[in-house]
Structure 1
Amino acid sequence: MAATKVSGYVRQEYVAPSDHTFSLPDSTTFVRSTEAEGVIQVYLRDLAIALVSFERHSERSLRTSPHGIVDDNRAVSSPASVYKVVDPSQLSLGDFWATLYAFWIRHSKEDVVPLILDSISLANADEILAFLTSTGLAFYPPDARTRFELLLVRASFWQGAGAPMENNWLQSMVPHPSVSGTPFPLVQSFTRAEHVLTTHPLRPPKPSPGSIIYSRFIFTVNEQLRFIHIDASNPAHFEAYARWQNSDRVNVGWNERGPDEKHRKYLANTLVDPHTLGFVIEWNGELAGYGELCWVKEDRMGTYVGGLGDYDQGTHLLIGEEKFRGRERFTAVVTSLRHVCFLRDPRTEVVVAEPRADLPIVQLLLAYLPEELNRDFELPHKRAAYVVMRRERFFQAAMLN
């Protein structure tokens, strides 16, 4: 019988150094920020000359308490930051988004932050204003005196609002924004399998093997994390996958040990299965593990648990290389697994997992992520823990910085 599990999650905060540099999801563009005496300066491309600054306003504060919920006598206001272009000019929307990235790394504790656009130095302030409000990156507080006074929303930023295609954390988007501005349409489909008999939405096609699915710089280890659609024809991918599955440690959880023929069959079946996407995990280009994303409505978990929505998703994970284990990397990988699920369809409300109930990973999930344990349940091949991550909770509390 599995031990009692109690969530002990305490969010860790990453404190950026006074001089801080990181790469964007394209892995080639770098952003530098410095902070001194309440002023944040951000540098792009030419990392020696500041492009913009966030300067604390000496007098102006804006209400940050939820409007319409908190009584006026309890309302809290916070000092505003003024956004200025150091050399007055226009700023591309992509560059503006990158500067927000640097800003949010330094303000990860706040849910909303007051911001005033300096319309004098920012020549295209009207365009930037429309970008902020139309994407949901910012909104007007009730006490705004001008149209350039806003509240930035951290959760909107991490949901990919306004992210340029080349630097969205989700690198393989279906449907592609260049051909469709909406999520993949609702078309009814059906699955009949050994453990599944259900209607569900038609799933979008998967990116080709070898495509980058997700990319994010992980500040706690100072490396780029990437998920790449596994390519069984790539000797490096296949050799690593087979070696991991045949290891004693991984086999305890996955039970997929066997000859190469078994591994090739498994990967071939995964490739043609529209509800599952398998990928390898890379740290700075070095293979570290394997994972899967799935649509749970047509997964066996959906059969044995029930009550999951049409767009809810599930994940599976193994870290094959010993050097890439440990709390910081584990937290980053699992957080990114949940992140990619919420990014790839805005209709996904929960992401679930079903690790074997008696494995240590259950306690780690509850300790290192804002997840909840629903219950233990029976699958044909194991007793599993039903672990749930909810969208709102994820973007409130997950360690994305």
Structure 2
Amino acid sequence: MSSSTKTSGYVREEYVAPLEQTFTLPDKSTVRSTESDGSIHVFLSGSETPVLRFTPHPSRILRTSPHGIVNNNRAVTSPAVTLESAASSPTEVSTDDIWSALYTLWIRRTENEVLPIILSSASFTNASTILTYLTHTGLAFCPPDAQNEFELLFIRAAFWQGAGAPVSKHWLRTMVPHPSISSFPFPFHTSFTRGEHVLTTHPLRPPKPAPGSVIYSRYIFTLGEQLTFTHIDANNSEHFAAYTKWQNSERVNVGWREKGPDEKHRQYLADRLADPHIMGFIVAWNGEFAGYGEMSWVKEDPMGTYVGGLGDYDQGTHLLIGEEKFRGRHRFTAVMTSMKHACFLRDPRTEVVVGEPRADLPIVPRLVAYLPQELNREFEFPHKRAVYFALRRERFFQAAMLN
């Protein structure tokens, strides 16, 4: 690695939401919000009047710096916000609607890691149910300086990790195991892989969703479009035609080196489908195909062999953007960030998501600049000299541009 190569040049760009904004959730429902004088009004399911609102509390201030860690003379406090029903009388509001409202809040308060919010117990007929939902999912907790159980600290990172997300609105669209079957991650059972470049024990991997299944969906606010990842289906003529066109382009072939006849591409995709450790997917913007990506469990990947030290549930990603119209900094950052997001969401035991692009590719400086990941070192594969990138869970949910 050149001594002039920067191992970290990432600067998070803060997103400023417009005063009125509408966005689409993965289940295709919409959320509209407006903001004036510090108050946020949330409209759900096409409602003409707001369902929920966040309003500045007139006097209450709560500590937002970590309790028991930061000395009192360094403690940071913030004015509290009240979460209340927008109805004129106490009403019942579903926890699904509370989550949707929190989505609007965290898009509008991207600069905050923690927010003090007072749940208006008099505003909801099911306030105790909402409180249990918030605290038992980890979306919020009652801090030591609270005057009652309804004074809470809400955590941005918890929201983006999927805490409390309704299954119908979750960014992961085909979870394994599905929550209707089990609320726990796929169990640990030792498995084994022996291959040309791999010889290792590792956890048994969960089955992949069926080809053609949407595996991730998220509205990208900076572009106003829905980004989706769909498990590639080689028997789908549109999937296959797009994939072969991209792999046979000279630009993509510089990095992937998979140019060849249809037979080669069919075999590649068949191998991917049969291999439990890796999954390929079609990247699309508003349903229009843009590129191809892969996510893998790296313990049984050549990456695990040649780098070493990777955990049982650590993952890796690869990406190509095949369509020229979908290239560019903002789309590239959104897709790369979403791939990492999907990896961290699909197993809470994943601590690191890695990358290993060829060291001489021009994309390397962009991967330093656009993602909050560590450029660890360069290393040798049998077929290339690669750069080892490591993105850690805590750093991702603290600093990633999820907007």
Q: 1:246 aligns with which of 245, 248, 260?
A: 248
Q: CA deviation at 1:72?
A: 1.1
> In the aligned structure 1, how far is the partner of 2:231 from the partner of 2:146?
46
Structure 1 Cα separation of the partners of residues 182 and 42 of structure 2: 33
Give the equivalent residue in structure 2 for 1:381: 383
Query: Per the alignment, in what secondary structure is the counterpart of residue 147 of structure 2?
Result: coil
Query: Which residue of 184, 197, 200 corresponds with 2:199?
Result: 197
Match of 1:24 in 2: 25
Distance in 2, Cα, partners of 1:124 & 1:384:
55
CA offsets 1:187-234 (integer angstroms, 9 cap, x no match): 000000000000000000000000000000000110000000000011
User: Secondary structure at 2:104's aligned position in 1?
Assistant: helix
Over residues 157-195 of structure 1, what are the superposed CA-to-partner deviations in whole Å (9 max), with x where a residue is unaligned?
000000001111011100111111110000000000000
Q: 1:140 Cα deviation (Å)?
A: 1.1
Q: Residue 347 of structure 1 aligns with which residue?
A: 349
TM-score, length of structure 1 as denominator length: 0.99
**Structure-2 residue corresponding to 1:181:** 183
SS of aligned partner of 1:17: coil
Secondary structure of 2:217's counterpart equals strand
CA contact (8 A) 1:31 1:45 kept: yes
Match among 278, 281, 288 for residue 280 of structure 2 = 278
Deviation of 1:49 (Å): 1.0
| AA at the equivalent of 1:380 | P
Displacement, 1:3?
7.8
Equivalent residue number for residue 77 of structure 1:
77
Q: Percent identity?
A: 67
Q: CA RMSD in A?
A: 0.9
Q: CA 1:362 to 1:47, structure 2 compared with 1: closer, same or farther past 3 Å? A: farther
Whole-Å separation in 2 of the counterparts to 1:47 and 1:283: 27
Structure 2 CA distance, aligned partners of 1:271 and 1:73?
57
Shift of 1:4: 4.1
Q: Matched residues in 2 for 1:283 and 1:218: separation?
A: 10
Deviations 1:46-88 (A, max 9, x none): 3421001100001001110110011112111100110110113
**In the alignment, does 2:64 pair up with 1:64?**
yes
Structure 2 distance, partners of 1:275, 1:52, is 43
Q: Answer whether contact 2:30 2:46 (CA < 8 A) is retained.
A: no
**1:301-340 mapped onto 2 (5 Å cutoff):** 301-340=303-342
Partner Cα separation in structure 2 for residue 46 and residue 261 of structure 1: 49
> Residue in 2 aligned with 1:165?
167
Match of 1:55 in 2: 55
Hey, what's the Cα distance between the residues in 1 that align with 2:384 and 2:73? 54
The one-letter code sitting in structure 1 at the alignment partner of 2:53 is S
The size of the alignment, in residue pairs, is 400
Stretch moving more, 93-102 or 40-49: 40-49
- Name structure 2 gaps, 5 residues minimum: none
- CA shift, 1:142, in A, is 1.4
- Gaps of at least 5 residues in structure 1 are none
SS at match of 1:225: strand
Q: Which residue of 2 aligns with 1:46?
A: 46
CA contact (8 A) 1:3 1:358 kept: no
CA, structure 1 residues 94+345, in 2 after alignment: closer, same or farther (shift >3 Å)?
Answer: same
Q: Distance in 2 between matches of 1:22 and 1:359?
A: 36
Separation in 2 of the partners of 1:254 and 1:130?
Answer: 49
Report the AA paired with residue 41 of structure 2: Q
Separation in structure 1 between the aligned mates of residue 95 and residue 280 of structure 2, nearest angstrom: 33
How far apart are residue 2 of structure 1 and its match?
Answer: 6.2
For 2:106, give the aligned amino acid. Answer: W
In structure 2, give the amino acid aligned to 1:347.
R
Give how far 1:258 is off. Answer: 0.1
Distance 1:105 1:291 in 2: 26
Query: 2:138 matched to which residue of 1?
Result: 136
Counterpart secondary structure, 2:325 = helix
Name the structure 2 match of 1:264: 266
Counterpart residue number, 1:232: 234
Q: Is the CA contact 1:9–1:366 (under 8 Å) kept in the aligned structure 2?
A: yes
CA distance in 2, matches of 1:22, 1:145: 36
User: Residue 399 of structure 2 aligns with which residue?
Assistant: 397
Q: Given the superposition, is the C-alpha separation of residues 3 and 337 from structure 1 closer, same or farther in structure 2, using an over 3 Å criterion? A: farther
Q: Which amino acid aligns with 1:8?
A: G
Shift of 1:25: 1.5
Kept in 2, the 8 Å contact 1:63–1:142? The answer is no
TM-score, with length taken from structure 2: 0.98
Q: Which residue number in structure 2 is paired with residue 34 of structure 1?
A: 34
The amino acid of 1:369's aligned partner reads L
- Given that 2:34 and 2:42 are in contact with CA atoms closer than 8 Å, whether structure 1 keeps it comes out as yes
Deviations 1:62-121 (A, max 9, x none): 110110011112111100110110113111111110010011101111010000011111
Native 8 Å contact 1:2 1:358 kept in 2: no
User: What is the distance in 2 between the residues matched to 1:2 and 1:196?
Assistant: 29
Which whole-Å CA distance do the structure 2 matches of 1:378 and 1:306 have between them?
12
Q: How does 1:360-375 map to 2 (within 5 A)?
A: 360-375=362-377
Kept in 2, the 8 Å contact 1:139–1:152? The answer is yes
Report the Cα distance in structure 2 between the residues aligned to 1:377 and 1:76, rounded to whole angstroms: 43
* Aligned mates of 2:40, 2:151 — CA distance in 1: 18
For 2:284, what is the secondary structure of its paired residue?
Answer: strand
